[in-house]
Amino acid sequence: MIFLKRLFDFILFGNIYIAIASVCLIQSTLIQRGITDHLLSYSVLTFFATLFIYNLQRVFYSPQKDNSLHSIRRKWIFENQFSIKTLCTIGFVGVAISFFYTDYKIVFYLSPLLILSIAYFLPFIKLRKNTWFKLLTLAIVWTTVTAIVPILLGDLNPLSTNNILHFFARFIFLISICIPFDIRDMEVDKAENIFTLSQKFGENKTRWVALGFMLIYIFLIITEYFLEIFSMKIFVALMLTAIVNASIVFMSSSKRSEYFYTALLDGTMILQGVLLFLIS
């Protein structure tokens, strides 16, 4: 049992879980947009890139003097720096190798995102200190990587009405996932002088803002369905994911454990990809 918990923590807090989520969202886009190529080389590249970037930022984490701010996740990070650096190295090597198996255009698509992602957490830049930069940077990077680039690689017109609607729906979906993490990190962000939505609006209003974005997302997928952009099966899978996500957001609180956010909320991205894969 102890071994299983350690393995679960390693997968969850070592960012293997979120790397799997990135692949699931890529496959979700391919299925929704009817792209038959599974873009396996790009999916592998994205997996390792996510593993690299997310663990790289953990290297720059600094312990808080107030031990009460050390969550399960942060304690794991500080106690497992060797594992974090090893996973970071694996991610970098994986990117270097898988890069040669992907379309050369990836360099032009992903280079700006790499710079933006690193600027997000570097101590002397740290875009995440700004309320809107923190939220928009995450949503824009994830939308580009999991929706825009796959459509470009699938040789579809990114400016078509259907694709723009898909991009916007994915962006809103990711916003609704990102906002509750502000609630989770409320006290830590306050200690690090990072001004977030939860500090501006309070925990309860922030929760309703996240739910509002999820309602917009539901409206968008209903619109996509009635425009016959995808089938009833895909619509049901997306709606189920949205309902699960909304339920988790509704239950979000600063008092919830890391497992609630990292396993459940991030897990809705995996759920979406798995459901769509099963029906396809």
State how far the alpha carbon of 108 is from the alpha carbons of 42, 58, 93, 104, 243, in Å: 14, 26, 20, 8, 36
pLDDT tens-digit profile of 129-149?
Answer: 666 677 888 899 999 999 999
pLDDT tens-digit profile of 79-96?
Answer: 899 999 999 999 999 999
Give me the mean pLDDT over the 242-262 stretch.
86
pLDDT: is 10 or 63 the higher one? 10
pLDDT at 201 over 90: no
Give me the mean pLDDT over the 16-35 stretch.
96
The answer to whether residues 123 and 60 touch, using CB atoms and an 8 Å cutoff, is yes
pLDDT at 240 over 90: yes
Q: Tell me, what's the pLDDT at 30?
A: 96
Give me the mean pLDDT over the 36-55 stretch.
93
Q: Tell me, what's the pLDDT at 127?
A: 57
CATH architecture of the domain formed by 2-279 = Orthogonal Bundle (1.10)
**Residue 50: partners with Cβ closer than 8 Å, 6 or more residues away:** 15, 18, 19, 22, 91
Instruction: Kindly state the percentage of the chain with pLDDT values over 70.
Output: 86
Q: Tell me, what's the pLDDT at 69?
A: 54
The answer to whether residues 150 and 30 touch, using CB atoms and an 8 Å cutoff, is yes
Domain locations in the chain as residue ranges: 2-279
pLDDT tens-digit profile of 184-194?
Answer: 766 666 666 66
pLDDT tens-digit profile of 142-178?
Answer: 999 999 999 999 888 888 999 999 999 999 999 999 8
pTM summary value:
0.90
Q: Tell me, what's the pLDDT at 244?
A: 94
Give me the mean pLDDT over the 246-274 stretch.
87
Q: Tell me, what's the pLDDT at 105?
A: 78
